[in-house]
Structure 1
Amino acid sequence: MCILIADDDPVVRDVVRRYLERDGLTVVETADGPSTMAELTARDRSGDAVELAVLDVMMPAPDGIEICRAVRSGPRPDTPIILLTALGDEDDRVLGLEAGADDYVTKPFSPRELALRVASVLRRSQTRPPSTEILRDGAVEVRPDAQSALVDGVPVDLTAREYDLLVFLLRHPHQVFSREELLAKVWGWDFGDLSTVTVHIKRLRAKLGDRHRIETVWGRGYIWGRNGRGTGESNA
């Protein structure tokens, strides 16, 4: 299983590589945007695509956020992505999540924490239980056997984590879940920034358009389908 580490700091790459290799993963390293894009493209063409990419937001252009957007619009849009961001750069973290990143880790970081995040994202993306159940609510339909979502019969391009979130909400309609609960039940994490959930809810609403039924229950969390229409965006 191949993991790509893209960072212009060779010390960061070396430390992360050692921790991931201890977990039995194969690691390839790149130091800037152009070499990262070239590596991803070459591996896609060869059939030996990376299973997860760790991208530094601040590496020489194209930066990690730009590469994340490129991956999401490329031949393997479901590739899990973790961004490395500077401590305190909240705008970069939100932009990264809105670009489709699965998670982010702030610098300086614990290499072991990053390795745990990598393992968590990989586990979640590879262990979705097979199912022939078709989930429907109004114009929204999900086919777990094909890992696809449709609105009014038209396919919707969701990232792996957006797909997981939609499936969870459809399977638990009319129930309120806090961001902490969604982080635990959908992401499988007992740690992490709650804005990850907020941004994914926002992206899912945008992609489903006016057919979404995600409501904000102020002070408590989110619910699917209580009154038949969503309430729009929220920071709750």
Structure 2
Amino acid sequence: MEPSDGGGGSTGRRPTIMLIEDDLDLVAMCDAYLTRAGFQVARTPDAAGARGRLDEVDLVVLDLGLPDSDGLDLLRTLRQGQHEKLPVIVVTGRGDEADRVVGLELGADDYLVKPFFLRELVARIRAVLRRSGTGAPAPPVIHLGGLVIDTGAHVIRAAGEQIALTPREYRLLEFLATTPGRVYSREQLLAHVWESSVEWQAPATVDEHVYRIRRKLTDAGVRVPKITTVRGFGYRLDP
């Protein structure tokens, strides 16, 4: 089910975010996460596909390593034309510090370094939209089966009663709920929920938290959604 707007939104419509990125797996993850966060998403893998659609969007997330153009050239074009005030967040590789600096000098509103956390992407977009005066949607309330997940209050309820989760358990369940049906490896969950890696955190940490969440959902009488183990891959939330 689609999330409700949660009430209290600063605008009457959902801002549209354009993802200019040729990594299709990353785009799919970002699209699902942004949609659950209350945004509309436009996608294009290259600069050519973006140029004719810029009037439709409120903010651009621009990968600088595009297949058909230097992302900096597209940013330069934006800042010299009719879209000079369109908010832009540039995305660069970890070693491309010079590109980040040039991007900011050309007028980018913010930047992200790959690999980045989806939660951070949403936070950066919300911050840039607030600064630009466009506004951002209120954090959504997600309805999945017997669960109601209030992402603004960080509360999960079933049958009107709050389920007591630790902050990490909540973040893990909320993350899975933003992209139901998608399988995440333990390593991906460590990255996006713990903001860590196998170098610092044992993958068994994920298993223990999944076990605890399952037990608490069962105790609350929740049968759907459920966290499913996908052997050899990881976990997904089945709505």
Q: TM-score, normalised by structure 2?
A: 0.48
Larger Rg computed on CA atoms: 2
Q: TM-score, normalised by structure 1?
A: 0.49
If asked which structure has higher relative contact order (CA below 8 Å, sep 6+), I would say: 2
